Amino acid sequence: MSMGETRELSKEKNSFLNYNVSCIMTLPPYQRQGFGRLLIDFSYLLTKNEGKIGSPEKPLSDLGLISYRSYWKDLLLNYLASYTEKNVYIKDMSTEMAVNAYDIVSTFQAMGMMKYWKGKHILLKRQDLLEEFLERQKRRRADYKEIDPKCLNWRPYVPPPPSEESQSNSNKNKTVAANKAAADRKKAQAASAVQ
């Protein structure tokens, strides 16, 4: 997807590893204006629309890690600021936000909010971080870029079902491979019997 000459997002149609984005690029003159965050947010919006949980393709560049960590930090603090229950479950957060649980845990660890104690991961409520986040939200610039999910007109890629012909070819290939393996075993047994 290209958004003019300033930024670009690349997404796999059907990622085996559930990567929700392959590449994000913002040209230098347009960096530090919120476009990278906008593209990250857009990739997660698409992931939610697909009903999946996603993560960016790894390894992330240094700048990519900084950008994603900042995005995840704000996403998690926003979630916690409105959370009223006593216990927080990473799996529930992951499902609701479409963010991989590993990315959530690593971000909490980087923020100093997660500790391992008596065989369990404990999430520490850091009121200072929550208050700082809420204060930043109030001071947000008027030109802050956001995507309105209601305006998304997109359908996820659905791979076509395998045709009968491709299934029969697949079965034929399996049969040929099994016959070859059996012939190779016979040859190996005959060779060992000769020695």
Per DSSP, the three-state class of 181 is: helix
Condensed to tens digits (0 to 9), the pLDDT of residues 106-155 reads 999 999 999 888 888 888 889 999 999 999 888 887 767 788 888 888 88
pTM of the prediction?
Answer: 0.73
**Pairing state between β 7-10 and 23-26:** antiparallel
3-class SS of residue 21? strand
Is 146 among the catalytic positions? Answer: no
| Residue from 5, 12, 50, 57 carrying the catalytic annotation | 57
